[in-house]
Structure 1
Amino acid sequence: MVDKVIVITGANGGLGRALAQRFASDGEQVVLLGRTLAKVQEVASSIGERAMAAACDVMSPASVKAAFAEIAGVHPRIDVLINNAAVFDPFLIEEASDDQIMNGILTNLAGPMLCSRSAIPMLERGGLIINISSESVDMPFPHLLVYQSTKAGLERFSKGLQLELENRDIRVTTVRAGQMTGPGQSAVMEPEAGMRFFQACLQRGFNPMERGSTQYESATGLFRYLIDLPADMHLDIATYQARKSG
């Protein structure tokens, strides 16, 4: 069996890193993309010869095009693109800076669009694009309006892109992910913003700390399942929640 080539954005830490480690251990070739080259190079080096690292700022069309041109020089075809890079930054709209709003929109929504555009010509029949959304789309989380809106937009983008690519036998799936944690966690809130977010959650009647968190490594099994789906199956959206164990 020929190794699959799996491209993962935001692979310097968190879920992206765990996915790269999992797929490489499964015998696949992984391409790690991240804004800071040194960080993804460090992860790629720890994985070994099955990993390639490339700098990619998903907010920049030029950076995305350059990254996929670099990938094509090593892997002329790819099998899977996982749009994992995201900005998680709680704030109130009335207090938001220009950068907070634009970084969220460009990273969480425009980024997957730009990466998909560059990946599609490299995907052969049977290829797969996975866009990672969030359970917050359907939950009353406070201070996350930009994050929720971009993830909801990403889900709509996935549905439309599936229709565009159906005749080319390229599938597009959304993973609506629950709360996650683990080694290399990259989404760390500023203490003051985190405290305001936590207090606002309590005011809305739920405690995020009581909901449990899925380990990044545990979540990789779902992505493995999606990649290995039979050719006559398609999963539009896969949703998972965290649960306390033990």
Structure 2
Amino acid sequence: MNRLDGKVALVTGGSSGIGFAIAQRFVEEGAYVFITGRRQPELDKAKDEIGRNVTAVQGDVAVSADLDRLFHTISKEKGRIDVVVANSGLVDPQEFGQISEESFDLTFDVNARGALFTAQGALPQMTDGGSIVLVGSIAAYSGIEKYTTYSATKAAVRSYARTWTKELKDRGIRVNTLSPGPIDTPIMDSQAESKEGADAIRAAFASVIPLGRMGRPEEVAAAALFLASDESSFCAGMDLSVDGGMAQV
């Protein structure tokens, strides 16, 4: 059964990690997917791996002109959007007391500003009864050292879902937050200066997860599919955590 048969979806940050897994699963479930990312080579690779029913548009969600170009492309090729997954994000761990203005601005520009203007830019083309999935994080409500700015941006994303659910109720557009815990993606490697350092971060996360391991991108993609499809038709304004129990017990 193709749960997204005939749907048109947008997945930002779809060239790797969680975003790629979501885009790939959506295509498998019958959707046509537009993916975005900042790096063209990674986008090209993702498009080739997905293989069909996908358009890759290079761009940065923090840049208004890039978003305008993205939505122009969608309008020209498909003319509508049924599902939006605002997934683009970054983590720049810095200890409180040493947080730079540059890091603060970049993290908020991508994670908070990017999610807002992605969803808002999609609205004119969104079908009534569509679904917006905002990729948050359990960091929004869990204290994690060195994650001050990242956690704050994800708390903002969680707030968006509550507000937009009320504002979009007359169109039947459902807005929900999907909050992963630690997921083993390339973003983990970017948080350390060496493979050994990245592996140490992975081990530290695994040690505090009740299921004893980090999550996999495809597990988050399965949850995104639920929120995007009619199977979640009575879910609105909620937060779905995919974290192995880390922030739940």
Same fold (TM over 0.5): yes
Bigger drift between 225-234 and 170-179 goes to 225-234
Gaps of 5+ in 2: none
- Look up the match of 2:241: 239
Question: SS of the residue aligned with 1:125?
Answer: strand
- Look up the match of 1:21: 24
| Conserved? CA contact 1:13–1:186, under 8 Å | no
Gaps of 5+ in 1: 200-205
Output the TM-score relative to the length of structure 2: 0.86
- 4+ aligned runs moved over 4 Å, structure 1: none
- Look up the match of 2:218: 217
- Look up the match of 1:143: 146
- Look up the match of 1:170: 173
| Conserved? CA contact 1:45–1:51, under 8 Å | no
- CA-CA distance at 1:8 after TM superposition: 0.4
Q: Deviations over 1:16-47 (max 9, x none)?
A: 01111111122211111111233212211221
Q: For 1:8 and 1:34, locate their aligned partners in 2 and report how far apart those are by CA, in whole Å.
A: 9
| Conserved? CA contact 2:132–2:228, under 8 Å | no
| Conserved? CA contact 2:5–2:29, under 8 Å | no
Question: SS of the residue aligned with 2:60?
Answer: coil
- Look up the match of 1:191: 193
Q: For 1:122 and 1:99, locate their aligned partners in 2 and report how far apart those are by CA, in whole Å.
A: 34
Counterpart of 1:103 (choices 106, 109, 118) is: 106
After superposition, the CA RMSD in angstroms is 2.4
Q: Deviations over 1:76-100 (max 9, x none)?
A: 0011010101111110243233321
Cα separation, partners in 2 of 1:231 and 1:149, compared to 1, 3 Å:
closer
| Conserved? CA contact 2:176–2:239, under 8 Å | yes
Counterpart of 1:90 (choices 72, 90, 93) is: 93
- CA-CA distance at 1:243 after TM superposition: 6.2
Q: How many residues align?
A: 234
- CA-CA distance at 1:240 after TM superposition: 2.2
Question: SS of the residue aligned with 1:186?
Answer: helix
- Look up the match of 2:51: 48
Identity %, equivalent residues? 23
